Amino acid sequence: MKARVTVTLKSGVLDPQGKAIEGALKSLGVDGVSSVRQGKVFDIEIDGAEKAVVEATLKAAADKLLANTVIENYRIEIV
Amino acid sequence: MKSAVLVFPGINRERDMARTLKLVSGVEPAMVWHADTELPKGTDLVVVPGGFSYGDYLRCGAIAARAPIMDAVRSFAAKGGLVLGVCNGFQILCESGLLPGVLMRNSQLRFICRDVYLRVERSDTPFTRGYNAGQVIRVPVAHGEGNYIADGETIARLEGEGRVMFRYAAPDGMIDPNWNHNGAMNAIAGIVNDAGNVLGMMPHPENHVDPAIGCTDGRGLFAGLAEHLAKAA
């Protein structure tokens, strides 16, 4: 099974990298950008036939390692 | 003082730390590999040194915090054992849940390598008994992710319980945003856990212990620890 875990910063957490990218986009003349937040994407291949079981495994993986839940949220998709 | 210095792949400040521990306490520390599951018998101080464990992959300290040896460190700390984390060591302690909060990218997005001034907030702890409260010390920093962040409730608790040990300050001890080089909340450079036996700090006191370097302001931390442990023994 293929899955994607997306990790993003919680709202309210300052993201200096996102701010720098936002500034760079503006200086490139990309119009209309009001905010950029940087995150991470993990594409994972995982054994298992049952979606619910795989989701639970990935949730544990995200809580234990992939995300720091003090500052980050995550989303799991089976693709 | 029977100290143990943890060694993770990618760590590069463990020898500075070991040299300082030997210099100040007279006793050679044990170097403990990350894949070990036990600390040497009789260990009374665990030091998590600085460097770039696992190349800072994923998040600084994230992978080291899940290494096998960290379970032993957690149970050592739960029994009241003293744990010191410096730089990447501070990041590892935060990631492992031994300390609250996170070290984020420096607010100016630059890696900072220079001497900074720290105001020592308390002198009545095993880590800071070698200093006077309010004393200003000069120690080096070398990090890209040292910007301490925690939620409002955690910051209020840290401040209310007097758990901030070191703050970035001007040379005269005033807290000034111009001297808070990484943008840390409340200029926090070092904190302890709720029991007071785990200290994490971004600056490197171990690099200012030898007169040959020109400054020995970091010595008080290690001398204080050695004194505390000698009395406890």
- Per residue in B195-215, pLDDT (tens digit) is 999 999 999 999 999 999 999
Q: Can you give the CATH number for the domain in which A39 is found?
A: 3.30.1280.10
The reply to whether residue B95 touches residue A68, judged by beta carbons under 8 angstroms, is yes
The reply to whether residue A14 touches residue B151, judged by beta carbons under 8 angstroms, is no
pLDDT at A1: 93
Pairwise CA distance, residues B127 & B21, whole Å = 13
Q: Which of B181, B204, B208, B228 is catalytic?
A: B204
At what angle are helices B219-232 and B14-25 packed, to 10 degrees? 60
A-interface mutation test, from B151, B153, B155, B182, most A Cβ less than 10 A away = B151
Question: Candidates 3.40.50.880, 1.10.1760.20, 3.40.50.720, 3.40.50.10320; correct CATH number of B3-103+110-232?
Answer: 3.40.50.880
What is the Cβ-side half-sphere exposure of residue B222, based on CA atoms within 13 angstroms? Answer: 30
pLDDT above 80 for B112: yes
pLDDT digits (tens, 9 = 90+) for A17-76: 899 999 999 999 999 999 999 999 999 999 998 999 999 999 999 999 999 999 999 999
The reply to whether residue B149 touches residue A64, judged by beta carbons under 8 angstroms, is no
pLDDT digits (tens, 9 = 90+) for B48-105: 999 999 999 999 999 999 999 999 999 999 999 999 999 999 999 999 999 999 999 9
Domain count, chain A: 1
pLDDT above 90 for B155: yes
Query: Could you write out the DSSP letters of every residue in B82-151?
Result: EEEEETHHHHHHHHTTSS-SEEEPPTT-S-EEEEEEEEE--SSSTTTTTS-TT-EEEEEEEES--EEE--
CB pairs under 8 A between A and B: 34
pLDDT at B225: 97
pLDDT at B218: 98
The reply to whether residue A14 touches residue B62, judged by beta carbons under 8 angstroms, is no
Cβ A1 vs Cβ A46: under 8 Å: yes
Domain residue limits at A38: 2-78
Q: What is the mean pLDDT of residues B211-227?
A: 96
pLDDT at B231: 84
> Among B63, B102, B109, whose Cβ lies nearest the Cβ of A68?
B102
pLDDT digits (tens, 9 = 90+) for A14-23: 888 899 999 9
Residues 6+ apart with CB under 8 A from B78: none
pLDDT digits (tens, 9 = 90+) for B159-171: 999 999 999 999 9
List the domain boundaries for chain B.
3-103+110-232
Backbone φ, ψ for residue B120 (5° rounding): -80, 120
CA distance B150 to chain A (A): 8
String of b and e for B191-212 (b: at least 16 CB within 10 Å)?
A: bbbeebbbbbbbbbbbbbbbee
Least Cα distance to B121 among B84, B178, B162, B158 occurs for: B162
Q: Across all residues in chain B, what is the average pLDDT?
A: 96
Beta bridge partners of B167: B119, B188
Three-state secondary structure along A11-78?
CCCCCHHHHHHHHHHHHCCCCCCCCCCCCEEEEEECCCCCHHHHHHHHHHHHHHHHCCCCCEEEEEEE
Pairwise CA distance, residues B187 & B184, whole Å = 5
A-interface mutation test, from B59, B95, B147, B181, most A Cβ less than 10 A away = B59
pLDDT at A15: 87
Token pair recorded at residue B177: 């945003």
